[in-house]
């Protein structure tokens, strides 16, 4: 997509492709599943076919949870911070805004991922704020916003398509 760094762009592509295996009752369960998924796809070995070249695959990526100063939900190589929200609602908007501002101080690339959404207006408001703000030369953090629809959770991940894009909230700088 639009993230200029190959690793960050690859992580974003994988987050967009990821389909949670079920609708979970707690954010931690989405966090654990996404960490496992990213660790697998980013570190899969190509079997000697060099399939990982230029895509961030091929191994060596550290995919952790609640790491760094900001305690990102999922962090890749201490460069890409991912904040997950379960059933994003209006009451979570102010907290997410603060978390994203904190992430901007600690990660070069930030992905906000809503696993279910109840307040689309609030989500779009944050997306517009972080993708259109005048941050100045010192803050070059790039943001992306991804929505995982509850009705797609548990479906076949090979069905094609993703939840990102213009209408799905996958826009970035």
pLDDT 10s digits, 73-113: 999 999 999 999 999 999 999 999 999 999 998 899 999 99
Contacts of 138 (CB under 8 A, 6+ apart): none
When pLDDT is averaged across residues 10-21 and rounded to a whole number, the result is 96
pLDDT of 137 > 70? The answer is: no
DSSP H/E element including 63: strand 63-67
Domain ranges in the chain are 6-41+59-142+153-168
Phi/psi for 42 (5° steps) reads -80, -25
| pLDDT bucket at 155, cuts 50 / 70 / 90 | confident
pLDDT of 165 > 60? The answer is: no
- In this prediction, residue 161 carries a pLDDT of 44
pTM above 0.75, yes or no: yes
- Most confident residue range from 32-41, 62-71, 152-161: 32-41
pLDDT 10s digits, 21-31: 999 999 999 99
- In this prediction, residue 68 carries a pLDDT of 60
pLDDT of 127 > 50? The answer is: yes
Q: What helix, strand, coil percent values describe the chain, rounded to 5?
A: 40, 20, 40
Using DSSP's 3-state secondary structure scheme, residue 145 falls into: strand
When pLDDT is averaged across residues 113-133 and rounded to a whole number, the result is 92
């Amino acid at each position: 997509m639009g993230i200029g760094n190959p690793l960050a762009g690859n992580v974003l592509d994988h987050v967009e492709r990821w389909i949670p295996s079920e609708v979970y009752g707690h954010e931690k369960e989405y966090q654990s599943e996404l960490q496992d998924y990213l660790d697998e796809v980013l570190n899969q070995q190509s079997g000697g076919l060099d399939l990982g070249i230029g895509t961030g695959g091929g191994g060596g990526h550290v995919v952790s949870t609640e790491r760094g100063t900001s305690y990102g939900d999922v962090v890749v190589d201490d460069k890409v911070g991912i904040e997950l929200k379960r059933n994003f609602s209006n009451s979570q908007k102010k907290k997410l805004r603060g978390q994203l501002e904190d992430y901007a101080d600690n990660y070069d690339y930030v992905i906000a991922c809503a696993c279910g959404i109840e307040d689309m207006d609030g989500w779009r408001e944050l997306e517009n704020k972080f993708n259109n703000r005048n941050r100045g030369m010192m803050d070059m953090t790039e943001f992306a916003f991804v929505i995982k629809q509850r009705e797609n959770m548990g479906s076949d991940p090979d069905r094609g398509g993703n939840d990102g894009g213009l209408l799905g909230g996958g826009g970035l700088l």
